[in-house]
Amino acid sequence: MTSPAPSPFSWTSGAVHPDVLVGTALLAAVYAWAWRTRRGPLALTSAVAFAAGLGLLLPALNGPLHDLADHYLFAAHMVQHLVLILGVVPLLLVGTPGWMLDGLLGEGGYRARVVRAATRPLTAFSIYGATLIAWHLPGPYEAALGWHSLHILQHVTLLATGLLGWWPVLSRSSLAPPLPYAAQILYLFVFGIPMTVVAAMITGAEQVLYPFYASAPRLWDISPLTDQRLGGVIMWVPAGLIPLVAFTIVFFRWAAAEAEEPA
């Protein structure tokens, strides 16, 4: 079990988790190996996006942000979850070329069929939304804070279902392709709803929903209820902004594709 860490908090130190370091190193090694075995030039934009995703993963789950999230502030934990779902996942997916995804899925195989079924818009959105909401209910959330292994499971499932949620827009696979541009725009209209529901529940609560943070050491004179409402607002704003940015990018890609079509 984990328990609130003693004060004072330090911005220049923090816990480092070997499992996160090993997992990140393995992802980087597999990615580099896949490019090498293909014997083709490395696509710079893909590599930069994938590296940026790994680069965000490390500080999200280690160091000062990890300590703030795990021991002091609910708002920091919301920042951590946003970085994972709205930062790490889309960057890793954008950075993985289609041929690499197809190689992982295996053409005509069981994995491809399962992924095609799981990444259909309604299925992907439902799994992602249900997982996000479930983990932020007081019971599961408190349990994850109390047991490290469950906390790891929480982060893994948020990453995995976030991948499903983003797949209909960002996938580059030919075996489990993204939606057409028009459908992507409609999908992005509803993509932020689960996070908005969670944020509204948290921000509008009149009492502290998570006792763990009520008993945590106080930093900068932030009360538990203020911390909770700040966390809700932190989740609320990006839930609208990030899908809006994605919507804009998809719209201009659609317009460019239409312009390239012969009359």
Residue 247 Cα to chain centre, angstroms: 18
Q: Is the dihedral of CA 94, 97, 100, 102 positive or negative?
A: positive
DSSP 173-218: -SSSPPPPHHHHHHHHHHHTHHHHHHHHHHHH-SS-S-HHHHSSPP
Residue 179: inside a domain, yes or no? yes
Assigned domain for 8 exists = no
Q: Is residue 96 situated within a structural domain?
A: yes
In a domain? residue 5: no
In a domain, 150, yes or no: yes
**Using only C-alpha atoms, what is the Rg of the chain?**
20
Counted domains in the chain: 1
Task: Tell me the pTM.
Answer: 0.90
The reported pLDDT for the residue numbered 40 is: 61
pLDDT value of residue 55: 95
Domain limits for position 42: 18-260
* Tens-digit pLDDT string for the chain (263 aa): 454 555 576 666 778 889 899 999 999 999 999 888 876 666 888 999 999 999 999 999 998 999 999 889 999 999 999 999 999 999 999 999 999 999 888 876 788 899 999 999 999 999 999 999 999 999 999 999 989 899 999 999 999 999 999 999 999 999 999 999 999 999 998 999 999 999 999 999 999 999 999 988 888 889 999 999 999 999 988 888 888 899 999 999 998 888 776 65
Backbone φ and ψ for 15, nearest 5 degrees, come out as: -65, 145
In a domain, 214, yes or no: yes
Task: Report d(CA 263, CA 261) in Å as an integer.
Answer: 6
Residue 4 belongs to some domain of the structure: no
pLDDT at 42: 66
The two three-digit tokens of residue 167, written as one number? 């797949």
130 found inside a domain: yes
